[in-house]
C-alpha cells in the first residue's frame, strides 16, 4: 500500500489498523479540516486508487487484487473504526486579529485574546502559528517590516500571558497574500491583520 498525499496518511493508517474480519479494510476519510487526499491500495495481485472521501476497499488476500472503491456509510465507518477515529487530533482553531494602525489592535480583536489563550490551554497546544500581514499602503520593504512587528507583538502578548515562547512560530507576509485583494496603496482594514492558528 502506498500513499500519494501525506496530509491524509495519518487518517488512512489509523483506519487500516482498525481492520475487519477476513481482511483489511481501507477507508479514506477527510482530515480534521475537511480535506481529502488520495491513496493507492496495492498487493501482489494489483492495485486500486481511492481519491474520494468515505470510499474504501478491502484487501482480502495477497492473491486477489483489491476491488474498486465503494462508498462506505458514516455509520459503518463509526462502527468499524471508532477507536481509531477517537484519537484524531482536533481541527486547528483560526483567529484573525485586526489592527487599527501600526501595532494597535482593534478593540474587538483585543477581546479575542482570552479566547485564544483558553484554546491554547484547553488543547495543551505546543504548535501555535502567528502570521503577520499588512494592507498595500507603502513599500514592500516597509510592509514586510511592519508585518514582522505585528506578528512579534501578538507573540509577545501571548508570552506575557504564560504561553511558552518555544511553542509559537511567527512568520510574516508583508502586503503579499491579502485577505481582500486590492490595488497597490489601498487602505484596507481587513488586510491589516495577524492570523493565529492553534493546533
Q: Which of 86, 101, 123 is the last residue of a domain?
A: 86
Residues 66 and 100 in one domain: no
Tens digits of residue pLDDT in 174-187? 999 999 999 999 99
pLDDT in tens, 130-162: 999 999 999 999 999 999 999 999 999 999 999
Comparing CA positions, the residue from 125, 116, 99 lying closest to residue 158 is 116
Residue with cell 509559537: 168
The pTM of the full predicted model, rounded to 2 decimals, is: 0.70
Looking at residue 83, its pLDDT comes to 86
Do 57 and 97 reside in the same domain of the chain?
Answer: no
For 144, list phi and psi in degrees, rounded to 5. -65, -45
- Whether 80 and 98 map to the same domain: the answer is no
Residues 48 and 137 in one domain: no
Q: What pLDDT is stored for residue 22 in this prediction?
A: 62
- Regarding whether 187 and 168 lie in a shared domain, the answer is yes
Distance, CA of 185 to chain centre: 31
pLDDT at 9 exceeding the cut of 50? no
The domain of 25 spans 2-86
Using CA atoms, how far apart are residues 27 and 42, in angstroms rounded to an integer?
14
Shared-domain flag, residues 31 and 11: yes
Beta strands in 44-192 (DSSP E): 46-50, 55-59, 70-71, 93-101, 104-105, 128-132, 168-172
Amino acid at each position: 500500500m502506498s500513499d500519494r498525499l501525506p496530509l491524509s496518511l495519518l487518517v488512512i493508517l489509523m483506519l487500516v489498523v482498525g481492520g475487519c474480519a477476513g481482511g483489511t479494510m481501507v477507508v479514506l476519510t477527510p482530515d480534521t479540516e475537511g480535506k481529502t487526499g488520495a491513496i493507492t491500495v496495492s498487493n501482489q495481485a494489483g492495485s486500486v486508487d481511492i481519491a474520494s472521501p468515505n470510499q474504501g476497499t478491502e484487501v482480502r488476500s495477497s492473491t486477489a487484487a483489491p476491488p474498486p472503491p465503494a462508498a462506505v456509510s458514516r455509520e459503518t465507518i463509526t462502527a468499524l473504526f471508532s477507536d481509531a477515529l477517537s484519537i484524531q487530533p482536533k481541527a486547528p482553531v483560526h483567529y484573525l486579529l485586526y489592527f487599527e494602525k501600526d501595532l494597535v489592535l482593534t478593540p474587538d480583536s483585543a477581546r479575542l485574546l482570552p479566547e485564544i489563550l483558553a484554546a491554547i490551554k484547553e488543547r495543551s497546544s505546543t504548535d501555535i502559528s502567528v502570521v503577520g500581514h499588512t494592507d498595500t499602503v507603502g513599500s514592500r520593504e516597509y510592509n514586510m517590516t511592519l508585518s514582522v512587528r505585528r506578528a512579534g507583538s501578538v507573540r509577545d502578548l501571548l508570552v506575557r500571558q504564560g504561553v511558552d515562547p518555544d511553542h509559537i512560530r511567527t512568520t510574516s507576509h508583508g502586503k503579499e497574500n491579502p485577505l481582500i485583494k486590492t490595488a497597490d496603496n489601498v487602505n484596507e482594514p481587513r488586510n491589516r491583520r495577524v492570523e493565529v492558528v492553534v493546533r
